[in-house]
Amino acid sequence: MKYAKMKYAKTFDDRSRERMCKTMLWTALPLAALLAFGPAHAQDAAAAAEAAKPVVDKGDVAWMLTSTLLVLLMTVPGLALFYGGLVRSKNVLSVLMQVLAVFSLIVLLWVSYGYSLAFAGGNAFIGTFDKLLLKGVDKDSLAATFTAGVALPEYVFVAFQSTFAGITGALIVGAFAERIKFAAVLLFAAIWFTFAYLPIAHMVWYGPDGYLFAKGAIDFAGGTVVHINAGIAGLVGAYFVGKRVGYGREALKPHNVTFTMIGASLLWVGWFGFNAGSNLEATSGAALAFLNTLLATAAAALAWSLVEKIAKGKSSMLGGASGVVAGLVAITPACGTVGPFGAIAIGAIAGAACVWGVHGLKRLLRADDALDVFGVHGLGGIIGALLTGVFSAPALGGFGLGAGNETIAAQVGVQALGVAITVAWSGLVSVVAFVIVKAVVGLRVAEEAEREGLDITTHGESAYEN
């Protein structure tokens, strides 16, 4: 069958239907486009929002948790053993206990209100109570790093910074070891942490509003916040508590230099978390801080030993261990901004200078700083802070001066300002704190108790049973 071609004329109804179809078509096309574009646009917006969300890298988290553990290792057992070996055998447990107790106390105070006052908003000098008792800090809250769009779980940052606060307080106890009351140590630590450590930490590390942060001061891992701060407090404490019975007349020798060497070694290992961890990310910045910590410490140990050989004819193990700590202290503010050879220079200068710090300067100050907290941490921190301003300059192999500081002179000036503020504020708070402690619980044990030793008279036990 063949189909014939048919022609037909358009009637009124046909034309109406045609117009209606065209209208529907032109109406449907934009709607279809909208329906097609809408989900795509929504997906793009969602993708953009997701891209803008800070990234948490598992490697960074693992590195920062490890660094936190390393700083704990620095304190217990590192610092405890370093100090424990330096005192007489009748006082070794008292020093171990003071380090342990002060660290534990400050960590608890940190999460209660310290973190909030250091890092929760505020003005140029102190934070707020917005995060009191870790309010608003949970598994989903984040803390910024130095890279835009990269963050850490806030719990990690809280834990890491707690160990810094804890070891700073523990460092101080070496200055008045062997004669202070245990209760006095704890009360002083609480007052000083609240009114000295927290404001300095906020001014130096809280960006962009912290007073010294805004001026471009460089303190990568705590030369001012930790070491100068603790060194000044220790020196003030040595004056207030007074000299040990027999000081200047009897040989108050370390009872176990082996302990001190083990402690120094643990400090060196743990300090890689302290310095390289302050980069907050497992990147080349952490690698730089790691290498600089290694090199500066090696240079300082050899420099101390060389100066000791020249001055005394022999290089001692105690001197080598002390040089290790001096180098670690001095490179702390500079480790993230100087080059490797700048780190060597800083370590060598600090190692040599701190020999004078624990001998000549100590005699000039006329203070019984029992374990040389100021001579190593105070002086070493000052040297490191000032030299950071020199060797951070690109012309000397560094990786950049602080924001707003275009010359070495300008940067050194800002560094000196940071040193001066830390010395003045920590010194003032320490004086007030010791006056309060003396009035409330007293500072010093009785002379009979001191002669017998604090291990027995304060803690009721002895490290070495005959």
Q: What would the pLDDT profile of 430-447 be if each residue is shown by its tens digit?
A: 999 999 999 999 999 999
Span of 51-55, 401-405, 460-464 with lowest mean pLDDT: 51-55
Q: Is residue 305 part of a domain?
A: yes
Q: Is residue 1 part of a domain?
A: no
Query: What average pLDDT score do residues 73-82 get?
Result: 98
In a domain, 464, yes or no: no
Q: Is residue 310 part of a domain?
A: yes
Q: What is the pLDDT of residue 19?
A: 45
Per the structure, how many domains does the chain have?
Answer: 1
- Find the CATH number of the domain harbouring 322: 1.10.3430.10
DSSP 8-state code for residue 366: T
Backbone angles phi, psi at 143, to 5 degrees: -120, 140
Mean pLDDT score across all residues of the chain:
92
The single-letter code of the amino acid at 146 is F
Dihedral pair phi/psi, residue 247, rounded to 5°: -65, 130
Mind listing the pLDDT tens digit for each residue in 130-152? Answer: 999 999 999 999 999 999 999 99
Contacts within 8 Å (CB) and 24+ apart, 245-253: 245/179, 245/447, 245/450, 245/451, 247/368, 252/88, 252/178, 252/370, 253/88
pLDDT at 6: 32
- Domain membership of residue 273 (yes or no) is yes
> pLDDT class for 465, splitting at 50, 70, 90?
confident
What is the token pair recorded at 206? 């809280």
Q: What pTM was estimated for this model as a whole?
A: 0.89
Give the Å distances, CA to CA, from 207 to 121, 211, 361, 419. 9, 9, 36, 18
Tell me: the pLDDT tens digits for 259-307? 999 999 999 999 999 999 999 999 999 999 999 999 999 999 999 999 9
In a domain, 440, yes or no: yes
Domain membership flag for residue 22: no
Q: Which of 7-11, 86-90, 234-238, 325-329 is predicted least confidently? A: 7-11
Q: With cut-offs at 50, 70 and 90, classify the pLDDT of residue 52.
A: low
Give the pLDDT confidence of 376-415 residue by residue, as tens digits: 999 999 999 999 999 999 999 999 999 999 999 999 999 9
Q: What pLDDT shows up at residue 30?
A: 46
Domain that holds residue 415: 62-459
Whether 416 contacts 387, CB under 8 Å: no
* pLDDT per position as a tens digit, 209-229: 999 999 999 999 999 999 999
pLDDT at 36: 47
User: Is residue 5 very low, low, confident or very high in pLDDT (cuts 50, 70, 90)?
Assistant: very low
Provide the pLDDT for residue 25: 41
pLDDT at 8 over 80: no
Residue 355, in any domain of the structure: yes
